[in-house]
Amino acid sequence: MPNAATEHDRSGEEISVNIPTTSKPRIVIVGGGFAGIALARGLRRVHADVILIDQNNYHTFQPLLYQVATAALEAESIVYPFREIFRNQDNFFFRMANVCEIMPQANKLKTSIGEIDYDYLVVASGSRTNYFNMNDFQEHSLSMKSIPEATAIRNLILANMEKALLVKDMEEREGLMNIVVIGGGPTGVEMAGALGELRIHVLPDDYKELDFKRMQIHVVDMQERLLATMSPEASASAAEFLKKYEVNLWLKTKVLSYDGKILTLSNGKKILSGTVIWAAGVAGSVIEGIKPELVVGGRYKVDAYNRLEGAKNIFVIGDVAAMLTDKTPKGHPMLAPVAIQQAKNLAVNFTHLLANQPLNPFAYRDPGVMATVGRNHAVVDLAWIKFRGVIAWFVWLFVHLMTLVGFRNKVVVFVNWAWNYFSYDRGLRLIIKPAKQ
């Protein structure tokens, strides 16, 4: 088994970012998403120093970002400080930094806080919004991959309602009220459902001067059906539910252009909208420094052990890893369960690796997929059963609540959900602008 770095004394080296040096091998993890934290946790009893690097000091529970964007949850309730998660893990170190480049020859990372050397590198940098080079949308639409982005969506939706009050021209006013969601995958569907609820239950009481019958919500997708990765039954059920919410569905339709006011679809239709949300695609967050031939579809090619092809001491897990097999010719789906399972498998493999034992290949056990469409309605596809409606919705709530990191967060989210459910309210209708400094 390859074992690039065994125990050695690093005391003679210049450590540029002041990470305590020990004689243990150093495993550096880039990214603290689902994959990164599951791996770091899995390494707690491994004889190695574990260094987690992330641009933020907190883990973000991405599946609930759309609820932050639609004023149902506070940003703080779906994030968790890394230092809190790993408080009691002695071999864990955290550094807040942007990683600029991987230098595989030198076994170093170039970061915003200096160079960090590693014995083993694990890239778990996740995915970023993919605009497919459509500059219009990169410039004028909003994406939803982080807390600041989700908060910016909430701010824009509400600020546009405040603006709509000020204009007398009915067309201009509608443009400020209308919202377009590009992408009919789980994120787009969940977002559209939440917007539908806002329009019915919340906004009309807030803005009595506006006529919400005139507000349109649109979902645009290139595919033939919503939730194309789920079962046809799930797609049909989601579409039916969204139509009840009077959401306009534009399937088999592309978006062509958007200037911040007018969105043009491939069928010629023009939609006036000041709020366009891009949920149409993600690509792996690849980092400079790895040979381009190892990148496929914006992800790093890895072997069955999640090792970067041809590398000895670099591993890649989660969204940014493409493990091409007969079953997965395009790699595994970019989902939390894949990331977590790859992380857990790699954690076990590190103990093998450090003991010079053979590694276990990764095998994905698909736990199923689910998406919530709105109040009392979700769709769940498991291997052995597909169901939808109220029970699916409670399953969705339960699974998400249990997966959230931190007891305090669980309680706060539960309080919010209970409040929202019984009051039909969304308490976080706040336009919180950042400080001027």
As given in the structure block, the two tokens for residue 7 are 């125990």
Q: Which of 21, 22, 57, 223 binds its own copies (CB under 8 A)?
A: 57
Residue type, position 300, single letter: Y
Quick one: 383 or 402, whose CB is closer to its own copies?
Answer: 402
211 lies in the site for its own copies, by CB under 8 A: no
* Residues 135-164, interacting with its own copies (CB under 8 A): 142, 146-149, 151-152, 158-159, 162
320 near 125, Cβ under 8 Å?
Answer: yes
Tell me how many residues contact its own copies (CB under 8 A).
59
Q: What are phi and psi of 55, to 5 degrees?
A: -75, -20
Q: How far apart are CA 65 and CA 144, in angstroms?
A: 7
Of the ranges 40-48, 77-85, 190-198, 372-380, which one interacts with its own copies (CB under 8 A)? 77-85
Residue 433 CB partners (closer than 8 Å, separation 6+): 155
274 near 178, Cβ under 8 Å?
Answer: yes
Quick one: 91 or 253, whose CB is closer to its own copies?
Answer: 91
Quick one: 2 or 148, whose CB is closer to its own copies?
Answer: 148
CA dihedral for 56, 260, 156, 378, sign (positive or negative): negative
For 36-88, the DSSP string reads: HHHHHHHTTTSSSEEEEEESSSEEE-GGGHHHHHTTSS-GGGGEEEHHHHTTT
Q: How far apart are CA 269 and CA 271, in angstroms?
A: 7
Quick one: 167 or 262, whose CB is closer to its own copies?
Answer: 167
Would you tell me the crossing angle of helices 232-244 and 186-197 to the nearest 10 degrees?
20
Q: How far apart are CA 410 and CA 396, in angstroms?
A: 14
Q: Which of 355, 363, 382, 432 binds its own copies (CB under 8 A)?
A: 432
The question of whether 76 is a catalytic residue gets the answer no
Q: Which of 160, 253, 273, 416 binds its own copies (CB under 8 A)?
A: 416
* Residues 89-108, interacting with its own copies (CB under 8 A): 93, 95-96
419 lies in the site for its own copies, by CB under 8 A: yes
CB of 139 to its own copies, least distance (A): 9
Tell the burial category of 283 from Cβ atoms under 10 Å away from its Cβ (0-12, 13-18, 19+): middle
- The DSSP bridge pattern shows strands 275-278 and 120-123 to be unpaired
* Residues 10-29, interacting with its own copies (CB under 8 A): 17-18, 20
Q: Which of 236, 395, 399, 412 binds its own copies (CB under 8 A)?
A: 412
Return the SS3 of 402: helix
CB of 90 to its own copies, least distance (A): 8
44 lies in the site for its own copies, by CB under 8 A: no
CA angle (140 as vertex; 161, 221 as ends), nearest 5: 90
Per the residue annotation, which of 74, 76, 84, 190 is the catalytic one?
Answer: 190
Residues labelled catalytic: 190
Which residues of this chain interact with its own copies, rule CB under 8 A? 17-18, 20, 56-58, 74-77, 79, 81, 83-84, 87, 93, 95-96, 113-114, 142, 146-149, 151-152, 158-159, 162, 165-168, 205-207, 209, 406-409, 411-412, 415-416, 419, 425, 427-437
